Amino acid sequence: MRSEGQVRFITISSKVQITVAAIALAALIVWAVSMAVAGWTQYRATADRLSLLDREAKVATATERVNAYREDIDAVATDLVKRQEFIEDMVSSLPDDVKSVAKVSNSAGEAAATVDKVSLSIPEATALARIEARQLAFVEGLTRYADWRAQRAAAALKSLGLNPDTMIRNADRSAMGGPLEKLVTSADGTIDPRFERLGLSIARMAALERGLAGIPQVTPARKDMISSGFGYRRDPFTRRGAMHKGLDFKGAIGTPIRAASTGRVSFVGWKGGYGKTVEITHGNGLMTRYAHMSRFETKVGQRVEAGDTIGAIGNTGRSTGPHLHFEVRINNRAVNPRTFLETAPNVLEEIRRAPQFASAE
């Protein structure tokens, strides 16, 4: 090291060099593995979608369906019952606003051709062919509607700086289980790819809209009482530079604190320098934290809605005076709450005012 005309030497022992090299190698391996896992996940998602689209392109033609009617009309009737059960189970799980537009459309394309051919060659099966045509029109129309809803939610999430695909992956990784109940639309135990596509479209729509509903949108305390913002600041105790990972709202002890969004309470208690703290998980890796409280008005496991009172402002933990410390975390990484509190209400209001999907056609 050269300093002010003088040269000094620093000797690094072989042991230290080996340790540093080992740490660097371990970090490289961890990075490589994480990149490989991410790459494989993306590959599988793409491969699965392409496989489904390919199978959708190979669904039975009108001629093939007429042949199926000729060979075994009872089997066709059984398939239609299976399909109807699928549709009824699917519709029963949908939100009310989706059910209201899930109307049967007129038959078209191959379905219409099937009806014509069956009517000419197998008149007694005409009623079944028409039922099948209506089922397919219903499924395809509802799929388009679900895709439209998913695209609308994805655009809103992007406007808030969030990645919709990340939310989908987080939803897929959430805790779940139960006995395997395969989706079946045929007596032979298989599923028509158009029906499978509907299931996937509904699932994507639901995951994105859950993510949107969990976005912090209600200011937990008076917005005009923000006393410290997100980012670097002078620490009030050490008077040295430090990172502040939330917003501080000053207020009198006992002032109500509101939940910023819909979610489930995951922590209530003392948390180090945060003092009395409440944490709410909102799904898809998103969590909000409320610290320095004086009292709690919620408990672990309780579901809360945006705006519900969850406690009161206090002066517990590492605090210089009564205030609320509010954090927003995505996959445990703190992000600036202002982005959501100032933008989310407008984005959600635009969605509510936007024209609805006019038709399932």
On whether both 235 and 316 belong to a single domain, the answer is yes
On whether both 209 and 243 belong to a single domain, the answer is no
On whether both 93 and 190 belong to a single domain, the answer is yes
Q: Does 18 fall in a domain?
A: no
- Read off the tokens for 267: 């922590």
Q: Does 360 fall in a domain?
A: no
Nearest to 90 by CA among 133, 141, 129, 45: 141
* Measured CA distances, 332 to 172, 261, 294, 317, 328 (Å): 18, 17, 25, 21, 9
Please name the amino acid found at residue 230: F
On whether both 203 and 64 belong to a single domain, the answer is yes
The Cα 105–Cα 359 span in angstroms is 9
Q: Flag whether the pTM goes above 0.85.
A: no
Range of the domain at 186: 59-213
Q: What local confidence, expressed as pLDDT, does residue 248 receive? A: 93
Under 8 Å between Cβ of 280 and 241: no
Under 8 Å between Cβ of 109 and 115: no
Q: What local confidence, expressed as pLDDT, does residue 40 receive? A: 47
On whether both 177 and 314 belong to a single domain, the answer is no
Q: Does 295 fall in a domain?
A: yes
Return the SS3 of 313: strand
Q: What local confidence, expressed as pLDDT, does residue 305 receive? A: 92
The Cα 217–Cα 294 span in angstroms is 23
- Read off the tokens for 61: 């033609």
Q: What local confidence, expressed as pLDDT, does residue 259 receive? A: 95
Nearest to 276 by CA among 221, 207, 324: 324
Q: Does 332 fall in a domain?
A: yes
Residue finishing a domain among 160, 182, 213: 213
Radius of gyration of the chain (CA): 29
Q: What local confidence, expressed as pLDDT, does residue 43 receive? A: 46
| Residue 121 CA neighbour count, 13 Å, CB half | 17
What is the mean pLDDT, run by run of 10 residues, along the chain of 361 residues? 58 62 58 52 52 58 66 71 72 62 48 61 68 78 84 84 75 49 57 79 84 86 84 79 88 94 94 95 89 95 94 93 93 87 78 56 37
21-59 burial code (b ≥16 CB/10 A, e <16): eeeeeeeeeeeeeeeeeeeeeeeeeeeeeeeeeeeeeee
Q: Report the CATH number that the domain containing residue 233 is assigned in CATH.
A: 2.70.70.10
Under 8 Å between Cβ of 204 and 153: no
* Measured CA distances, 160 to 155, 221, 305 (Å): 9, 21, 21
* Measured CA distances, 67 to 58, 60, 71, 190 (Å): 16, 10, 6, 19
Q: Does 49 fall in a domain?
A: no
Q: Does 41 fall in a domain?
A: no
The Cα 103–Cα 171 span in angstroms is 29
Residue finishing a domain among 155, 178, 213: 213
Counting the structural domains of the chain, the total is 2
Q: What local confidence, expressed as pLDDT, does residue 287 receive? A: 93
Give alpha helix (H) positions in the chain: 14-56, 62-71, 73-92, 96-99, 109-121, 126-159, 164-173, 193-213, 337-353
- Read off the tokens for 138: 């219903």
φ/ψ (deg, to 5) at 9: -115, 140
On whether both 197 and 132 belong to a single domain, the answer is yes
Q: What local confidence, expressed as pLDDT, does residue 177 receive? A: 46
Q: What local confidence, expressed as pLDDT, does residue 310 receive? A: 96
Distance of CA 165 to the CA centre of its chain: 8
On whether both 316 and 183 belong to a single domain, the answer is no
Q: Does 43 fall in a domain?
A: no
